[in-house]
Structure 1
Amino acid sequence: MGKKLDNARNFFRTLKKSEAAPVYFIWGEETMMLDEAVAAIIKHAAPEGTNDFNFDSFHGREANMDSVVSACEMLPMMAKRRVVLMRDSQEVPLSELDRLSSYLDNPSPSTCLIVHAQTAKKKFDGRKAVVKKLKKAGVSCEFASLYENEVAEILDSRAGRRGLRLLPVVSAYLVAAVGTDLATLDQALDKIDLYIGPNESGTKELRVVDEAIVREVVADTKVRSVFELTDAVGERKFEDALHIVANMLRNGESAIGSVAMLARHFRIVARLQDPSVRNLTRNQKASAVRVSPFFLKDYERHARTFGLRDIENIRSQLLRVDRALKSSSLDDKTLLEQLIYDICFREAAA
């Protein structure tokens, strides 16, 4: 199990077992889990429900920190505590957010302040004093974009609640098609559920979702762009890869997501070089690395191009670029172009 999902599970598990904290700071790229965390904290802090007297909500740039602090310092009326929610704090200038600092030194014990930051499109500078103080003032948790193996497990669980059973290749296809964002994947499951319709037998038997169904229902635009990129990089076609990346960024696709898909690609390529996989049949190989047999030949071709030492170096570069995308002042396009250059040229010469 990956650390990211474990962090989220530990947050929800601990929340149920502990008293409501005076401050919660939750942030990250995984929007659906952030929303679920906000709802869970509010329910935990105000189990009797919220009302106009004991609940205040502020949003992003519209939030005035003096008003937020005033709301936090008010006493609850006919309730154990007040709940103050500040959504999208990543949109608040840090100079303005810093006005929370003195309140965080001594937060009201009768108020639960929830500070939410959605960082998929706008990063939050964790080096700033007020951000460090937010993390220390109460309970904090990062809901980062999940790893693919974590998403597959959640997909299977959410599909099961709808009476669906996803074949392994379907989970892999969905992640390739729409990424690892749970909200988008949940919408895809809704579409599949509606497309298949109720179980005609009237039993509770799970309805099987195969590759033909998911291809019919879920648009594969992103699949094409991702596979075009991984194929160009896998063939060390530098100019083609640069062109594809430029188009992906222009179309609003995440640079972090692109790096994640490249990392997935090279994990599969490395897995195909494992002796326990190398001698399997085509369908067995596809099942072992959780890809469609239709795409297997491309991964096998790249497995012949890149040795294990090459792949280890590439994966180190991917990790470095992933961190830089989340913290560096360099723009996403520059970081991705340098990454592609390193894979296409430096690794070839290694």
Structure 2
Amino acid sequence: MSKQADRARQFFKDLKKGPVAPIYFVHGEETYLLDRAVEAIVEAAAPEGTNDFNLDTFQGRSASGDAIRSAAEMLPMMSKRRLVVVRDMQEIPLSELGQLEDYFANPSPTTCLILHARTAQKKIDGRSGIIKKLKKAAEVCEFKALYENEIPAFLERQAARRGMRLSRQVVQYLVDAVGTDMAELEQSLEKIDLYIGAAPEGGGRQVDIDEVQEIIAHTRVRTVFDLTDALGARNYQQALLIMERMLLDGQSALVISHMISRHFRIVARLQDPALRSANNSDAARAVGVSPFFLKDYQRHARTFAPDELASILRQMLEVDVALKSSPVPDRVILELLFARICMKALPQRA
């Protein structure tokens, strides 16, 4: 388990132990855990439940700093504590958040102010003075997207809570077909749960791969294969159109980059001479994909030369760093990557 996962788990444990802090700031790329964090804070701050008198909710751009501060400074009515929840804080201009500077320095002891920010699409400038003051005043937890090798444990835990057992093959299929977004994976488990019905008396339910393939539409992996197919065909314009569609659908540039990188790592591994003669089951197991998707990876392994794949993988490392730290727009970084892959005449480095 990563240090990030350890910190997230500790955050939820601390909430149960108490005491409740006057300000919480939860932010990050993983929307599923962010939503769970807000729910857990609300439950800890108002174990008796909430009511309209003592709960105010603000949303993104429509929220003003003055209105948030006024709500937080009000006294609770027939309750121990007021709750003020601000969702999508990343959409609030820093000038508006500046109206809360005095409140951060001296928060109301009878209010729990929860600030929630989804940063997959829009980052928050941690260098700004008001964000630094917020972090100093609040209990803070960042929920980054899980690494791919952490997803199987998540799936197994969530399935066990529903009384289901997932084979390794089922887990890998879900990762390939759905992706690593925890909310979408949870929705997939919900579909499987409803489909296979109640557990037999005295035991859990074993989930078979045939059932999962029937239930789960693999739209996400089809999208990334559309993109990698376009890149493999050196079709720059088509790759740009698919990328644009993915961004409009809410996919982050960093996630798109990770999906492309994972794809080409698998393609490179399939060029190992030992795997060329292996049967499909052994080859799929060796590279960690579902046999259902193996033929697509094998096709791309025949398309790219080994030195091309090595170059692409080096570029993917540069792109990962650039998306996390460069002031250049994410879309431009991806466009440059696609150009390097699709147009051999271009230099390998920007």
The TM-score by the shorter chain falls in which range?
0.7 to 0.9
SS of residue paired to 2:57: strand
Aligned counterparts of 2:256 and 2:206: Cα–Cα separation in 1: 32
Corresponding residue of 1:295 = 293
Please give the residue correspondences for 1:143-222 in structure 2 after superposition, counting only pairs within 5 Å.
143-199=143-199, 201-210=200-209, 212-222=210-220
Aligned twin of 1:333: 331
Structure 2 CA distance for partners of 1:178 and 1:157, relative to 1, 3 Å: same
SS at match of 1:204: coil
Verify the 8 A CA contact 2:25 2:140 in the aligned structure 1. Answer: yes
Q: 2:182, 2:95 → 1: CA distance? A: 32
Aligned to 2:282: 284
- Structure-to-structure mapping, 1:1-350, within 5 angstroms: 1-199=1-199, 201-210=200-209, 212-233=210-231, 238-249=236-247, 252-269=250-267, 282-300=280-298, 301-302=300-301, 305-306=305-306, 309-310=310-311, 312-324=313-325, 328=327, 330=329, 332-344=330-342, 345=344
Look up the equivalent residue of 2:301 and give its one-letter code: H
CA distance 1:216–1:107, change in 2 (3 Å): same
Contact 1:20 1:45 in 2 (8 A): yes
Runs of 4+ displaced beyond 6 Å: 273-280, 346-350
Shift of 1:114: 0.7
Contact 2:90-2:124 at 8 Å conserved across structures: yes
AA of the residue aligned to 1:314: Q
AA in 2 matched with 1:208 = V
* CA displacement at 1:172 relative to structure 2: 3.1
The percent identity for this pair of structures is 52
The CA distance in 2 between the partners of 1:347 and 1:287, in whole Å, is 36
- CA gap 1:126/1:158 in 2 versus in 1, 3 angstroms: same
List per-residue Cα deviations over 1:269-322 (Å, max 9, x = no partner): 455578998886542331243212243344355397335853651341241243
1:283/1:240 Cα in 2 relative to 1: closer, same or farther (>3 Å)? same
Distance 2:246 2:59 in 1: 30
CA distance in 2, matches of 1:328, 1:263: 21
Measure how far apart 1:346 and its partner are: 8.3
Q: Which amino acid aligns with 2:222?
A: R
Give the superposition deviation at 1:238: 4.3
The amino acid across from 1:338 in the alignment is: L
Q: Distance in 2 between matches of 1:236 and 1:172?
A: 29
Aligned residue identity for 1:255: A
Choose 121-130 or 26-35, whichever is displaced more: 121-130
Query: What SS does the aligned partner of 2:157 have?
Result: helix
SS at match of 2:85: strand
Q: Is the 8 A contact 2:26 2:142 kept in 1?
A: yes
Gaps of 5+ in 2: none
CA distance in 1, matches of 2:67, 2:238: 52
> 1-side partners of 2:10 and 2:273: how far apart?
36
Q: Which amino acid aligns with 1:71?
A: A
Unpaired stretches in structure 1, ≥5 consecutive residues: none
RMSD: 3.2
* Cα distance change of structure 1 residues 283 and 17 upon mapping to structure 2, 3 Å threshold: same
1:11/1:299 Cα in 2 relative to 1: closer, same or farther (>3 Å)? same
CA distance in 1, matches of 2:169, 2:197: 21
Secondary structure, counterpart of 2:198 in structure 1: coil
CA contact (8 A) 1:173 1:291 kept: yes
**How much does 1:83 deviate?**
2.3
Q: Give the counterpart letter for 1:129 in structure 2.
A: G
Q: What SS does the aligned partner of 2:188 have?
A: helix
State the AA in 2 paired with 1:159. Answer: A
What is the TM-score with the length of structure 2 in the denominator?
Answer: 0.84
Name the TM-score, length of structure 1 as normaliser.
0.84
**Secondary structure, counterpart of 1:140 in structure 2:** strand
Residues in 2 aligned to 1:13 and 1:268: alpha-carbon distance in whole angstroms: 37
